[in-house]
Chain A
Amino acid sequence: MEDIQNSASNADLSAAQRQVRVQLTSKQEDIALPDGTGPILVPTGLRRYALSTLVNNLLSNDKPIPFEFLINGTFLRTSIDEYLTANGISAETTLEIEYVRALIPPLHIASFQHDDWVSSTDVLSATSPAATWASAAISPGQERILSGSYDGLLRVWNMSSQVVATSPPAADGGHAASIKAAKFVTPNQIVSAGLDRTVRLWKYSESEDGFSGTIAPHLELYGHKSGINSLAVHAPSHRLLSASSDHSVGFWSTKKSDAPAAPENLLPSAAARSSKRRKLNSSVSVAQRGPVALLSSHTAPVSAAIFDAKDSTVGYSTSWDHSLRTWDLVTATLVDTRTASHSLLSLEHLPELSLLAAGTSARHITLIDPRASATTISAMTLRGHTNAVVSLARDPHSTYGLISGSHDGTCRIWDIRATKADKDGVVGESVYTISRKGLEEQGKADSKRVGGEGVKVFSVCWDKTIGIVSAGEDKRIQINRGEGMLSA
């Protein structure tokens, strides 16, 4: 209470005793104010902290919960007075203020050291898509983290930073070049792809004690003529999407029976050059299959391809040719093309908002409405990164949350409600920034690396159970967690 009074008295000094009537609401039942709580008269000088203290008092919480306050769908970042002035709202109106749990800064949990750059990461937990699709129960503590590295190996880690399983080297049916994307399809199946132009499906099995396991090649998918940049998985329909530098999007089946035969000319045996390569592939024979469809209308390397989160027959892809394309996967036809002003390097779907977030080479994230009715190309821009944004993941807790990994060596958490108007339209600001632990350990957390040298983040993954997992040039997988990061 004292805090309120203090802040209130401070505010009184500044805002000359101006008061405004506010109606505090919340959509979450557990923190909602009791019914019949009418509008409250508060000094306009209050800021987020004072309002948060006020709500905690009203809820009579023993342990204060930090809250964020939304007015007209944007976070209150100034005092109420400044907000009213900026938006030209009279202080005599009753302000509808919605409050949500505030984001707690994500804390570093662990870092898993690799031998080489880590290009991609995925998690297997009770809440991860792979487990939910397979409706497999992953008991707490049995979560797994998958990493694909530039050394061409997949690694499965348990939460105690031990490698449970490693994929075989190239000689034994592994990737012949760097892995750029890896994902769990089911708790027992892994898919990976990389610069060797192949998509590989692996069988993953664990011993009883869970301390050792094997990753065995299951299927090789040929079709791309250049490196594969990203993968998307839809396990229920046994489909994969791959984005390749050969300007095409691959649409694959994870089932041997479904998949058509592999194109002969692309098989490693077709290589005209030295016998060395042939040697590499000889030891293990794995089934080879081709793509269900190759979607090619991009005119530059495709950087990312994803399934629509609600409708697995719709795919989206982004490319260096600045375009975002919508595909009908059933007929493998192009539905729509949206052209941005910069190369797009990553993509994520925010289904509840019908928005696609695309990371660009111009250091920002554009939110694009893919629906045909949308008139503007870019609905919003999220600015803050200092290098290309190459990875995006949605917040499992909130429909408005988003995390981005960038070559500047940071992951940034965004809430698209935290916006401000700019000359270029609506611009968002990141809520939290996660820098690489490796830098902090060296005591150089504040030093800015030119071009994110040595700390580039290549992949980021956000799971409800495990937290934020990011992989990067520092040869680490870094796990960060914040309780109730962004609320609904």
Chain B
Amino acid sequence: MNASKASKKRKAVTRDVEEEAGVFSGDELNADNLDGALSDNANDLSSDEDDSDSEIELVDEFSEDDEDDEELDSDEIPSDGEDAVKKKSVTTTDKSGEIAEDAESSSEEEELDFRIEKDANGNDRFIYDEINPDDNSEYSDVEENSNTIGDIPLSFYDQYPHIGYDINGKKILRPAKGEALDALLDSIEIPKGWTGLTDPSTGKPLELSQDELELLRKVQMNEIPEEGYNPYEPTVEWFTSQQEIMPLSAAPEPKRRFVPSKHEAKRVMKIVKAIREGRILPFKPPTEEDKEEDNVINYDLWADEAERPDHIMHIPAPKLPPPGYEESYHPPPEYLPDKKERKAWEEADPEDREQEFLPNDFGSLRRVPGYENFVKEKFERCLDLYLAPRVRRSKLNIDPESLLPKLPSPEELKPFPTACATVFRGHKGRVRSLAVDPSGLWLATAGDDGTVRVWELLTGRQLWSVKLSEEDPVNVVRWRPGKDALILAAAAGDDIYLAVPPIVDPEVEKASLDILDAGWGHAASVPALTPAEANKKNNPPKWIRPSSSLQESGVCAIIPLRYIAKSLSWHRRGDYFVTVCPGSSTPASVAIAIHTLSKHLTQYPFRRRIKGGGSPQAAHFHPSKPILFVANQRSIRAYDLSRQLLVKILQPGARWISSFDIHPTSSTASGGDNLIVGSYDRRLLWHDLELSQRPYKTLRYHRKAIRAVKFHPGGRYPLFADASDDGSLQIFHGSVTGDMLSNATIVPLKVLKGHKITGELGVLDIDWHPREPWCVSAGADGTCRLWM
């Protein structure tokens, strides 16, 4: 039996390759075989229940031909468990080839117990334990020609010419290894699978197939020897460790998985059938009540409405804006009114309400109650249709910004005065008037305390002061234009004072005195008035010399006007000046007086009161032409002095003119004359004489009356300023071009605040520095200020 088994084993080895080929050729066959085998072996299974499935499968794998033998084998297995293990190892050897056995033996070699001793030659000698003879090994009966050295590696015989012993104890000699030539040939042409080893059992050169080599390598590398096994296959996370919020696939169940319910189909078909037969109606059959209502005739007013031509009688109703969120029955919370808004709405008069309703949150449509104002609204709508005629309004789509002129920014129009540089403190009571001298070094001021003071402009140091009047205030003070002399004219009380302040060098002082003194002789040469003439009230006053104390302080001449002059203006050349006495008690014929310095002569050019607008307020000479501008309360008239003609009447539209000024470059360029007028009714008016009688521009920036207006003299800077009772000055840019077509550009630049309002009065007078963009102002608070 053993022999047959051994042969069978051999057979298995030889057939192994064929089997495998069969396996590879067709998988499905194998599956069928398996099935068949399973069913066929069912009996066997029932009989040998203790047999393991794997064993059977293995057997089946080999072949069906061996079935009987296998059964035999399997019969044996239960009898000897140890042998079964052995058998298993054998099957593995079958599978992996004989080399596996070799590996097995080599592994056994390590386990063997042996001693190493020195033999006589000094070589290592292995002394082994005695083999237990009663070991019932398979190898007890071996084939005749087989090597019977047992389970010993052949290498043990390396030193000997034989390789073992046969059953008879004779040495089995090493098989001839061929000639050297053969060895050479072998070395040249190494066949595939050549190992250089010898089969341990046969001693023949051991050749391994490619598959076997691969298998060996895997075994050596401690890998799973199975073909195509990848130990590092990427992990497929079928179920991730963390729960995804959005799973990779949230696809709904596909429809193909739907299994229709037969029961439901039956029910649906029932309903369909009922609808078809008319047992179920899609609407409610009209009841009798409904039929009764049908008798009511409803008129559709707009049923036959056609588009009508555009006509004044057929104005379509205005299109209402679409409803917004606030009209919703469930508006967003931000549209809902809070308590305060609700209260305000309820308290407001219905006409004042912005909305006719209060947004209300009903939550859902079915909670919305009936519209309470339904009837009222219908009524009002009808009333509208009945009473209110429709008018079509034509809309003008003009951007209001585009209508405004493009004004340059104040930043570009620098320099202009921006800050207070000096405060001139010294006057008791109001400072009524002030003027910067033509050289720009000194400032003359006059005030309620009856004094005229001259100050150093930059430092605010008072250089000279004279008390002109004990009780009357000095109303106006003006320097004579021109740098050849320094003469100050001041109007205090009923008199006009002409003074030369002792602050200039002897040369100029002498020139000034000469100018003032030249008239004495002329006045003396004028024949004395006849007594009759002298009795007349309106005869011109005679200039007189001041008292010695006044003379000491610099006053040179006095003109007794008999009325209080409030305005004084020099002619550009400095020989004439005009005074105006605006008092209501002043006779009209003497209200305006022109004084000639060189002749000490005073004339009254107007016999009658200027028409329309009360007493005269101010008068100025035209800077270049022989024209005198006279302003009364409401109008300004221009008189040509050489031709004795009224040239122009200006109607600024102000109720009470306080002051005016003529642009310094007027008529010198081709452009026309420009005037600024300040009025007590808070208006500042710009007149272009060429343009119109009416003001070109009206500026109302002050809260209170405007007291004084002034252009920057010399025309170096296109600036003008006004002074108001609200305590502020305003600086404007007003450039005049020579071009007749372009109008003046007026830009408000700066409000200068600093003067305190004293007794309802703020700033009373202003003046400009002749060259610099510096401005001085006289305040009712007793100070003057320099702004630069």
Q: Point out residues on A near B: beta carbons under 8 Å.
A: 117, 150, 177-178, 195, 197, 224-227, 245-246, 265-268, 270-274, 276-277, 300-301, 320-321, 341-343, 345, 361-363, 386-388, 390, 407, 450-453, 456, 458, 473
Residues 535-552 of B, flagged 1 when their CB comes within 8 A of A and 0 if not, give: 000000000000000011
Q: Are B772 and A343 neighbours in the complex by a CB distance under 8 Å?
A: yes
The smallest C-beta distance from A418 to any residue of chain B, in angstroms, reads: 24
Residues of A within 8 A of B421 (CB): 361, 387-388, 407, 451-452
Q: Are A271 and B772 neighbours in the complex by a CB distance under 8 Å?
A: no
* Other-chain residue from B510, B514, B754 in contact with A271 (beta carbon distance below 8 A): B510
* Other-chain residue from B425, B502, B505 in contact with A225 (beta carbon distance below 8 A): B505
Q: Are A266 and B502 neighbours in the complex by a CB distance under 8 Å?
A: no
Question: CA separation between A345 and B423, bound complex, in Å?
Answer: 18
Question: CA separation between A451 and B457, bound complex, in Å?
Answer: 12
Question: CA separation between A156 and B513, bound complex, in Å?
Answer: 39
Question: CA separation between A450 and B510, bound complex, in Å?
Answer: 38
Q: Are B461 and A117 neighbours in the complex by a CB distance under 8 Å?
A: yes
Whether B504 is near chain A, meaning CB under 8 Å from some CB there, is yes
Contacting A at CB under 8 A, from B129-178, are none
* Other-chain residue from B420, B505, B551, B754 in contact with A197 (beta carbon distance below 8 A): B505
Given A320-B771, A451-B422, A451-B785, answer yes or no on A195-B503 (Cβ-Cβ < 8 Å).
Answer: yes
Residues of A within 8 A of B500 (CB): 273
Contacting A at CB under 8 A, from B745-787, are 754, 771-772, 774, 785-786
Question: CA separation between A117 and B459, bound complex, in Å?
Answer: 10
Query: 12 A-B contacts, Cβ less than 8 Å apart?
Result: A195-B463, A226-B504, A270-B510, A272-B506, A276-B552, A320-B772, A342-B415, A386-B419, A388-B421, A388-B788, A450-B420, A453-B460
Question: CA separation between A458 and B422, bound complex, in Å?
Answer: 13
* Other-chain residue from B458, B502, B505, B785 in contact with A246 (beta carbon distance below 8 A): B505
Residues of B within 8 A of A274 (CB): 551-552
Q: Which residue of B lies closest to A456 (CB)?
A: B459
Given contact pairs A273-B502, A301-B440, enumerate 10 new A-B contacts (beta carbons under 8 Å): A178-B463, A273-B510, A301-B439, A321-B771, A342-B415, A386-B419, A407-B458, A407-B459, A451-B786, A473-B459
Q: Which residue of B lies closest to A321 (CB)?
A: B771
Question: CA separation between A362 and B415, bound complex, in Å?
Answer: 9
Q: Are B771 and A300 neighbours in the complex by a CB distance under 8 Å?
A: yes
Q: Are A341 and B415 neighbours in the complex by a CB distance under 8 Å?
A: yes
Q: Are A272 and B513 neighbours in the complex by a CB distance under 8 Å?
A: yes
The smallest C-beta distance from B420 to any residue of chain A, in angstroms, reads: 4
The smallest C-beta distance from A269 to any residue of chain B, in angstroms, reads: 9
* Other-chain residue from B440, B458, B513 in contact with A300 (beta carbon distance below 8 A): B440
Residues of B within 8 A of A266 (CB): 505-507
Question: CA separation between A388 and B422, bound complex, in Å?
Answer: 10
Whether B466 is near chain A, meaning CB under 8 Å from some CB there, is no
Residues of A within 8 A of B514 (CB): 272
Q: Are A301 and B441 neighbours in the complex by a CB distance under 8 Å?
A: yes
* Other-chain residue from A224, A273, A321 in contact with B513 (beta carbon distance below 8 A): A273
Question: CA separation between A321 and B506, bound complex, in Å?
Answer: 25
Q: Are A363 and B425 neighbours in the complex by a CB distance under 8 Å?
A: no
Q: Are B461 and A407 neighbours in the complex by a CB distance under 8 Å?
A: no
The smallest C-beta distance from B338 to any residue of chain A, in angstroms, reads: 45
The smallest C-beta distance from B550 to any residue of chain A, in angstroms, reads: 12
State the total of A-B contacts with C-beta under 8 angstroms: 103
Q: Point out residues on B near A: beta carbons under 8 Å.
A: 415, 419-423, 425, 439-441, 456, 458-461, 463, 500, 502-510, 513-514, 551-552, 754, 771-772, 774, 785-786, 788
Residues of A within 8 A of B458 (CB): 345, 388, 390, 407
Question: CA separation between A197 and B506, bound complex, in Å?
Answer: 10
Residues of B within 8 A of A178 (CB): 461, 463
The 10 closest A-B pairs by CB, nearest first: A271-B506, A272-B510, A225-B505, A453-B423, A451-B420, A451-B423, A451-B422, A270-B506, A450-B420, A245-B441
Residues of A within 8 A of B456 (CB): 195
Question: CA separation between A398 and B440, bound complex, in Å?
Answer: 37
Q: Which residue of B lies closest to A473 (CB)?
A: B459
- The residue among A225, A453, A458 with the most chain B CB atoms within 10 A of its own CB is A453
The smallest C-beta distance from B422 to any residue of chain A, in angstroms, reads: 5
Question: CA separation between A451 and B503, bound complex, in Å?
Answer: 24
Residues of A within 8 A of B785 (CB): 450-451
Question: CA separation between A10 and B456, bound complex, in Å?
Answer: 56
* Other-chain residue from A268, A453, A456 in contact with B425 (beta carbon distance below 8 A): A453
The smallest C-beta distance from A64 to any residue of chain B, in angstroms, reads: 41
Q: Which residue of A lies closest to B514 (CB)?
A: A272
Question: CA separation between A245 and B439, bound complex, in Å?
Answer: 9
The smallest C-beta distance from A229 to any residue of chain B, in angstroms, reads: 9
Q: Which residue of A lies closest to B458 (CB)?
A: A388
Question: CA separation between A117 and B462, bound complex, in Å?
Answer: 11
Q: Are A451 and B504 neighbours in the complex by a CB distance under 8 Å?
A: no
Residues of A within 8 A of B459 (CB): 117, 407, 456, 458, 473
Residues of B within 8 A of A277 (CB): 502
The smallest C-beta distance from B407 to any residue of chain A, in angstroms, reads: 21
The smallest C-beta distance from B749 to any residue of chain A, in angstroms, reads: 15
Q: Are B509 and A271 neighbours in the complex by a CB distance under 8 Å?
A: yes
Residues of B within 8 A of A245 (CB): 439, 441
The smallest C-beta distance from A148 to any residue of chain B, in angstroms, reads: 13
The smallest C-beta distance from A406 to any residue of chain B, in angstroms, reads: 10
Q: Are A363 and B507 neighbours in the complex by a CB distance under 8 Å?
A: no
* Other-chain residue from A227, A343, A388 in contact with B441 (beta carbon distance below 8 A): A227
Residues of A within 8 A of B420 (CB): 450-451
Q: Which residue of B lies closest to A301 (CB)?
A: B441
Question: CA separation between A473 and B419, bound complex, in Å?
Answer: 19
Question: CA separation between A274 and B420, bound complex, in Å?
Answer: 38
The smallest C-beta distance from B751 to any residue of chain A, in angstroms, reads: 15
Residues of B within 8 A of A341 (CB): 415
Q: Which residue of B lies closest to A345 (CB)?
A: B458
The smallest C-beta distance from B697 to any residue of chain A, in angstroms, reads: 29
Q: Which residue of A lies closest to B508 (CB)?
A: A225
Question: CA separation between A270 and B508, bound complex, in Å?
Answer: 11
Q: Which residue of A lies closest to B420 (CB)?
A: A451
- The residue among A265, A273, A361, A390 with the most chain B CB atoms within 10 A of its own CB is A273
Given A451-B460, A458-B459, answer yes or no on A268-B506 (Cβ-Cβ < 8 Å).
Answer: yes
The smallest C-beta distance from B727 to any residue of chain A, in angstroms, reads: 13
Residues of A within 8 A of B422 (CB): 407, 451-453, 456
Q: Are B510 and A361 neighbours in the complex by a CB distance under 8 Å?
A: no
Question: CA separation between A243 and B172, bound complex, in Å?
Answer: 144
Residues of B within 8 A of A272 (CB): 506, 509-510, 513-514
Question: CA separation between A453 and B419, bound complex, in Å?
Answer: 13
Residues of A within 8 A of B461 (CB): 117, 150, 178
Q: Are A273 and B507 neighbours in the complex by a CB distance under 8 Å?
A: no
Question: CA separation between A250 and B251, bound complex, in Å?
Answer: 104
Question: CA separation between A343 and B509, bound complex, in Å?
Answer: 27
Q: Are A265 and B415 neighbours in the complex by a CB distance under 8 Å?
A: no
Q: Which residue of B lies closest to A227 (CB)?
A: B441
Residues of A within 8 A of B513 (CB): 272-273
The smallest C-beta distance from A274 to any residue of chain B, in angstroms, reads: 7
Q: Are A265 and B441 neighbours in the complex by a CB distance under 8 Å?
A: no
Residues of B within 8 A of A390 (CB): 458
Given A266-B506, A273-B513, answer yes or no on A226-B441 (Cβ-Cβ < 8 Å).
Answer: yes
Residues of A within 8 A of B552 (CB): 274, 276
Residues of B within 8 A of A177 (CB): 463
Question: CA separation between A178 and B463, bound complex, in Å?
Answer: 9
Residues of A within 8 A of B754 (CB): 450
Question: CA separation between A415 and B552, bound complex, in Å?
Answer: 52
Q: Which residue of B lies closest to A224 (CB)?
A: B505
Question: CA separation between A177 and B442, bound complex, in Å?
Answer: 15
* Other-chain residue from A265, A386, A451 in contact with B507 (beta carbon distance below 8 A): A265
Q: Are A361 and B788 neighbours in the complex by a CB distance under 8 Å?
A: yes
- The residue among B422, B503, B754 with the most chain A CB atoms within 10 A of its own CB is B422
The smallest C-beta distance from B517 to any residue of chain A, in angstroms, reads: 9
Q: Are B507 and A225 neighbours in the complex by a CB distance under 8 Å?
A: yes
Q: Are B423 and A450 neighbours in the complex by a CB distance under 8 Å?
A: yes
Question: CA separation between A317 and B786, bound complex, in Å?
Answer: 25
Question: CA separation between A121 and B461, bound complex, in Å?
Answer: 18
